[in-house]
Amino acid sequence: MQKKTVSKVSSVGENISAENASWTFGDSVPTEFTEHVKRSVPYYESGHDVVCKISDFFLKDGSTCYELGVSTGALIKKMSNHHRHRDVRFIGIDIEEKMIEQAQKEIGDDDKIQIIADDINSFDYEPADLIVSYYTIQFVPPRLRQYLIDTIFKSLNWGGAFLMFEKVRACDARFQDMMTLLYSDYKLEQGYSSEEIIAKSRSLKGVLEPFSTQGNIDLLKRAGFVDYMSVMKYLCFEGFLAIK
């Protein structure tokens, strides 16, 4: 039997192509990213609503709010609109220049929002009342992750909050197999082909490194957070709220 050749570049949906172990948020991804992530992450927009509603407890006149990994700016724009009656500064940070360009196009003229091209791992944060990371830290190299969470804790004002949404690994191999298969079923139901699902998984090797629920909680605890809880969970996707 002739061995089948695997293409180096494969479609992962929404006119986005990626190579094995080479997923990037640059290239042509930014223009298609919003639709791609809506279909790929369960309850993606519902999670945005949760973030906005929780932010009511922490943002007031004079507050600063960061979003780490702002991507196309959908969430930070929604937060700004949600707090249009308050004097709140929203600062979005992303390392991908093309994502920054796309975010600025989609956000438009909103003087409450500042978008910065920088590395969230080395950025000099101002004191903040809320810091949001929406499916971003899972892409931070594990060796840098604790340092970043430590920095977030130090940057929060007392009583401020950190909202972290992440893809999470299950607690053991049996449950992980179940979650992987259920997530594949979800993506098939969204209209992705088997080839696109496999290509996306292959492209994320060594790029997306989820921790388990407990692993993420351990990061928070080591940083100094004492008060934390899960605020949203669906299969292998979870949102955490931690208060300083």
Q: What is the pLDDT of residues 84-103, one digit of tens each?
A: 999 999 999 999 998 899 99
Whether the Cβ atoms of residue 131 and residue 157 lie closer than 8 Å to each other:
no
pLDDT of 171 reads 94
Residue at 194: amino acid letter: S
Going by their DSSP bridges, the two strands 9-13 and 113-117 should be labelled as: unpaired
236 within domain boundaries: yes
156 within domain boundaries: yes
157-190 residue pLDDT tens: 999 999 999 999 999 999 999 999 999 999 999 9
pLDDT of 24 reads 65
Which residue range(s) make up the domain with 53? Answer: 40-169+207-243
200 within domain boundaries: no
106 within domain boundaries: yes
111-144 residue pLDDT tens: 999 999 999 999 999 999 999 999 999 999 999 9
DSSP, collapsed to helix, strand or coil, labels residue 187 as helix
183 within domain boundaries: no
Strand partners, 164: 133, 240
User: How far is Cα 162 from Cα 90, in angstroms, rounded to an integer?
Assistant: 14
pLDDT band at 32 (very low <50, low <70, confident <90, very high): confident
CATH, residue 50: 3.40.50.150
User: How far is Cα 162 from Cα 146, in angstroms, rounded to an integer?
Assistant: 14
What would you report as the CA-atom Rg of the chain, rounded to the nearest whole angstrom? Answer: 18
Whether the Cβ atoms of residue 191 and residue 146 lie closer than 8 Å to each other:
no
193 within domain boundaries: no
User: How far is Cα 244 from Cα 224, in angstroms, rounded to an integer?
Assistant: 8
